[in-house]
């Protein structure tokens, strides 16, 4: 039994040998005396051509199979004389595992991504979604490689939490009682299982900080949940986030690490997912590959928020939202900077304190008017990363929380980190789906996660 990818990559070793492959029929051509099947098993983009002679015992049955049927085929691997493939399999036995009727929603033609979203359980059988998921998987693996090779410890931060890391109040409430069925839970007002209000986490950062203030360099990589009604192509209600946290690190260290990490994973995927990246370059976004190469070869740009505001104000670009110092940058501003002005990833740092989260460290040089925060903006996506140095001074942190109406008693353990051996530390969060968009050239964040959750959608 071999994967089709193995055949295409190491076919020479297998020529004239007997092999068995399994997969789903992509197409079938009946030429009377013989038939050609193309079978794909998801291990790579290409399918393997199967040559079936009419002398085969199950020929009539095989010939009448429709696209989408699953088969197991044994036979001899030979060099193909046909165009477009090196090898083909001369079937000696075709076993039908599961047939498929004409109502199969994936036919040979190209389907729109909107249509495919409605059949999220079957779309992984298409070329595009197969490629997206292989690249996504490789990006996840590369993420672990990068941090592990650099001595970071992987921390599994909790999903159920009682603290609001971002202080934005965009949390999904967890209501549960043990042993209740879904229906009962829906019908009844559930009592509180944990004794205090709990939510699905918006970020693993606070946990990561605790562990970083003990193990030095750590990272989390897990799901995050945001109950925000952002119906955009860049937001999900459930997404994955990579969150490194480094002790004895400042904002420069933070940006340096983020830049190395992003470059590392792009390089990794360019090497390991050649066939898939070529596919995206050809069918999804022309010039993708050369752009990715350019991004990893040149240093990322770095400008302060104040410089960014100046660039935007002098751009002469008619923005929908005006730009003024103190306002958060809108997506159109972020994209202008990354896409048009720099045409390259750019860090924007030292944001106004008033528009950023409570935990970010006040800058001394302007008496806390700005914080030591950074966002990494990239072409086509906008914000890929948000991070900062953390406020490590107990009195300043308490004062900031007080101003924002955050109750100190809810964050007592977080404040303890500043009470007992506080150290400078910094970290960031990278939106994993946005990274997948960046690397694949896909447009919509709903198309780079297996079963997307967004307002009004949690069916699959």
Residues in contact with Mg ion by CB under 5 A are 386
For residue 34, give every residue at least 6 positions away whose Cβ sits within 8 Å of its Cβ, in sequence order, or none.
51, 52, 53, 54
For residue 314, give every residue at least 6 positions away whose Cβ sits within 8 Å of its Cβ, in sequence order, or none.
none
Minimum CB distance to ligand 4AD smaller for 352 or for 387: 387
End-to-end C-alpha distance for the chain, whole angstroms = 32
427 touches which of Mg ion, ligand 4AD, none (CB within 5 to 8 A by kind)? ligand 4AD
Minimum CB distance to ligand 4AD smaller for 166 or for 392: 166
Copy the structure tokens of residue 349: 């740092």
Minimum CB distance to Mg ion smaller for 244 or for 386: 386
Place of tokens 């060099």: 79
Min. distance of Cβ 381 from ligand 4AD in angstroms? Answer: 8
Ramachandran angles phi, psi of 370, nearest 5°: -120, 165
Minimum CB distance to ligand 4AD smaller for 40 or for 203: 203
Min. distance of Cβ 433 from ligand 4AD in angstroms? Answer: 6
350 touches which of Mg ion, ligand 4AD, none (CB within 5 to 8 A by kind)? none
Beta-bridge partners for 223 = 240
Are 345 and 300 in contact by the 8 Å Cβ rule? The answer is yes
Total H helices, total E strands in the chain = 14, 16
Min. distance of Cβ 5 from Mg ion in angstroms? Answer: 38
429 touches which of Mg ion, ligand 4AD, none (CB within 5 to 8 A by kind)? ligand 4AD
* Strand boundaries in 204-325, DSSP class E: 217-225, 238-247, 301-304
Beta-bridge partners for 224 = 239
236 touches which of ligand 4AD, Mg ion, none (CB within 5 to 8 A by kind)? ligand 4AD
Min. distance of Cβ 133 from ligand 4AD in angstroms? Answer: 17
**CA-closest candidate to residue 154, choices 201, 208, 218, 203:** 218
Minimum CB distance to Mg ion smaller for 163 or for 203: 203
Minimum CB distance to Mg ion smaller for 356 or for 425: 356
Min. distance of Cβ 196 from Mg ion in angstroms? Answer: 27
Q: Catalog residues that contact ligand 4AD under the rule CB under 6 A.
A: 165-166, 203, 205, 226, 235-236, 239, 241, 243, 383-387, 427-429, 431, 433-434
Copy the structure tokens of residue 276: 């898939």
CA gap 213, 219 in Å, rounded? 12
For residue 293, give every residue at least 6 positions away whose Cβ sits within 8 Å of its Cβ, in sequence order, or none.
270
217 touches which of Mg ion, ligand 4AD, none (CB within 5 to 8 A by kind)? none
Minimum CB distance to ligand 4AD smaller for 239 or for 336: 239
Min. distance of Cβ 448 from ligand 4AD in angstroms? Answer: 10
203 touches which of Mg ion, ligand 4AD, none (CB within 5 to 8 A by kind)? ligand 4AD
165 touches which of Mg ion, ligand 4AD, none (CB within 5 to 8 A by kind)? ligand 4AD
Are 238 and 222 in contact by the 8 Å Cβ rule? The answer is no
């Amino acid at each position: 039994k071999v994967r089709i990818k193995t055949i295409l990559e190491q076919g020479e070793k297998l020529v004239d040998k007997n092999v068995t492959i399994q997969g789903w029929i992509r197409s079938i051509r009946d030429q009377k005396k013989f038939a050609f099947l193309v079978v794909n098993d998801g291990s790579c983009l290409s399918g393997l051509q199967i040559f079936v002679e009419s002398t085969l015992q199950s020929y009539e049955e095989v010939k009448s199979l429709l696209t989408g049927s699953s088969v197991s085929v044994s036979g001899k691997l030979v060099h193909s004389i046909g165009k477009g493939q090196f090898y083909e399999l001369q079937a000696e036995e075709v076993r039908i595992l599961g047939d498929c009727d004409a109502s199969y929603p994936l036919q040979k033609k190209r389907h729109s991504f909107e249509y495919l979203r409605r059949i999220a359980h079957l779309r992984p059988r298409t070329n595009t979604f197969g490629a997206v998921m292989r690249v996504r998987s490789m990006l996840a693996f590369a993420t672990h490689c990068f941090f592990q090779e650099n001595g970071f410890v992987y921390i599994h931060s909790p999903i159920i939490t009682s603290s609001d890391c971002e202080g934005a109040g965009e949390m999904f409430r967890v209501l549960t009682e043990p042993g209740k069925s879904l229906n009962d839970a829906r019908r009844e007002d559930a009592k509180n299982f944990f004794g205090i209000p709990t939510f699905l986490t918006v970020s693993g950062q606070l946990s990561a900080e605790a562990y970083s203030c003990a193990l030095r360099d750590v990272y989390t990589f897990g799901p995050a949940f945001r109950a925000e009604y952002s119906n955009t192509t860049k937001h999900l209600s459930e997404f994955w986030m990579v969150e490194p946290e480094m002790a004895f690190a400042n904002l420069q260290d933070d940006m340096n690490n983020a830049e190395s990490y992003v470059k590392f994973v792009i390089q990794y995927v360019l090497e390991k997912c050649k066939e898939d990246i070529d596919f995206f370059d050809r069918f999804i976004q022309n010039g993708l590959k050369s752009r990715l190469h350019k991004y990893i070869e040149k240093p990322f740009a770095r400008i302060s928020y104040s410089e960014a505001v100046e660039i935007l104000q002098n751009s002469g670009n008619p923005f929908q939202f005006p730009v003024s110092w103190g306002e958060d940058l809108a997506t159109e501003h972020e994209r202008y900077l990354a896409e048009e002005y720099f045409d390259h990833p750019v860090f924007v740092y030292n944001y106004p304190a008033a528009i950023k989260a409570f935990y970010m460290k006040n800058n001394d040089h302007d008496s806390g008017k700005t914080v030591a925060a950074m966002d990494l903006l990239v072409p086509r996506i906008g914000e890929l990363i948000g991070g900062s140095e953390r406020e490590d001074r107990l009195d300043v942190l308490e004062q900031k929380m007080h101003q924002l109406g955050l109750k100190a008693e809810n964050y007592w353990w977080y404040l303890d980190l500043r009470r007992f051996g506080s150290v400078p530390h910094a970290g960031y969060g990278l939106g994993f789906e946005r990274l997948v968009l960046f690397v694949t050239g896909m447009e919509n964040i709903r198309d780079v996660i297996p079963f997307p959750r967004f307002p009004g959608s949690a069916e699959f």
